[in-house]
């Protein structure tokens, strides 16, 4: 499959991000946000199946071909929210929809909950709320994060002698994917180095979070959603295992559909991508 897209770089006031543009310039505006350690290729199968939309599929900061954050900076999830707002400003979009997978879905919910006047619709794939932490665990979590930061300088990224070795590693990674999906992500996510290939991603992305939202904080964003929201749950994915998810969804106006497949069901194969597209096409194009 050879999707038609335009590769662009977006010079924001504080960082330069890369993105794939899909669809007509006058299409309904949508910003597509991938998961942790993935990249814009996450939407390579899905985006071409969503006609009539102008989709900006970002590489998040530190991922894919986007810049890494400056030395001394971190990758707090709310900083991604600011990045997305700045991308919308670049395109002159005062109101837009969000298509998010996993971490991208979480960023979407945070933005829509905080600034409901900016987000028209939310289309979420196997993601809703961040991992949370309660007050009593905060000192321990900060200690773990500080120790990991201090140790990072002594660590090196893995180098794979062959491209296929990196693909196999990605297949077994967090949110395991099919070989075809791993190849799509690797084609965008790898760079050549002496001895083979390594990932473009910023090593700081693997550091533990020094501070997490409490469950009450995270649920407040979901409860504050005002735009129409459609959530696709993967039957063999990661979201259904979150404690209290079904109870929360019973309280809020979030339309949900359970589909067969794993966490990357929109990318693993053509059939999964079509099932997700069938859910989101009428939803995203509704007035």
Q: pLDDT for 106-134, tens place per residue?
A: 999 999 999 999 999 999 999 999 999 99
Q: What is the pLDDT of residue 1?
A: 44
- Which residues have C-beta within 8 Å of that of residue 55, sequence separation ≥ 6? 20, 21, 22, 23, 27, 30, 31, 32, 43, 47, 99
Give the mean model confidence (pLDDT) for residues 236-249.
90
pLDDT digits (tens, 9 = 90+) for 197-226: 999 999 999 999 999 999 999 999 999 999
Q: What is the pLDDT of residue 164?
A: 96
Single out the catalytic residue among 102, 108, 203, 255.
102
- Is 203 among the residues known to form the active site? no
19-23, 126-130, 173-177, 282-286: least confidently modelled range:
173-177
Q: What is the pLDDT of residue 3?
A: 52
The SS3 call for residue 248 is helix
The SS3 call for residue 284 is helix
CATH 3.40.50.1820 fits 6-133+213-284, yes or no: yes
User: What span, in angstroms and rounded, lies between the C-alpha atoms of 102 and 130?
Assistant: 9
Give the mean model confidence (pLDDT) for residues 138-153.
95
Q: What is the pLDDT of residue 42?
A: 98
User: What span, in angstroms and rounded, lies between the C-alpha atoms of 48 and 26?
Assistant: 16
- pTM attached to this predicted model: 0.96
Give domain limits for the chain: 6-133+213-284
């Amino acid at each position: 499959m050879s999707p038609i897209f335009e590769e662009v770089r977006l010079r924001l006031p504080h960082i330069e991000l890369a993105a794939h543009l899909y669809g007509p310039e006058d299409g309904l505006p949508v910003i597509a946000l991938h998961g942790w350690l993935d990249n814009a290729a996450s939407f390579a199968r899905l985006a071409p199946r969503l006609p009539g939309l102008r989709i900006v599929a970002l590489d998040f900061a530190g991922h894919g071909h986007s810049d890494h954050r400056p030395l001394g900076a971190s990758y707090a999830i709310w900083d991604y929210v600011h990045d997305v707002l700045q991308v919308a400003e670049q395109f002159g979009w005062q109101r837009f929809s969000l298509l998010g997978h996993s971490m991208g879905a979480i960023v979407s919910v945070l933005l829509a909950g905080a600034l409901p006047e900016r987000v028209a619709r939310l289309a979420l794939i196997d993601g809703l709320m961040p991992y949370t932490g309660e007050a009593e665990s905060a000192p321990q979590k900060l200690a773990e994060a500080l120790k990991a930061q201090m140790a990072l300088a002594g660590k090196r990224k893995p180098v794979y002698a062959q491209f296929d070795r990196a693909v196999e590693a990605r297949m077994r990674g967090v949110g395991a994917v099919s070989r075809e999906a791993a190849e799509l992500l690797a084609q965008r996510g790898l760079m050549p180095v002496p001895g083979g290939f390594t990932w473009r991603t910023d090593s700081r992305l693997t550091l533990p979070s020094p501070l997490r939202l409490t469950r009450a904080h995270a649920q407040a964003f979901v409860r504050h959603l005002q735009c129409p929201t459609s959530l696709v749950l993967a039957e063999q994915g990661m979201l259904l295992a979150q404690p209290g998810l079904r109870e929360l969804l019973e309280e809020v106006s979030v339309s949900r559909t359970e589909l067969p497949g794993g966490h990357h069901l929109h990318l693993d194969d053509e059939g999964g991508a079509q099932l997700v597209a069938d859910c989101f096409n009428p939803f995203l194009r509704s007035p």
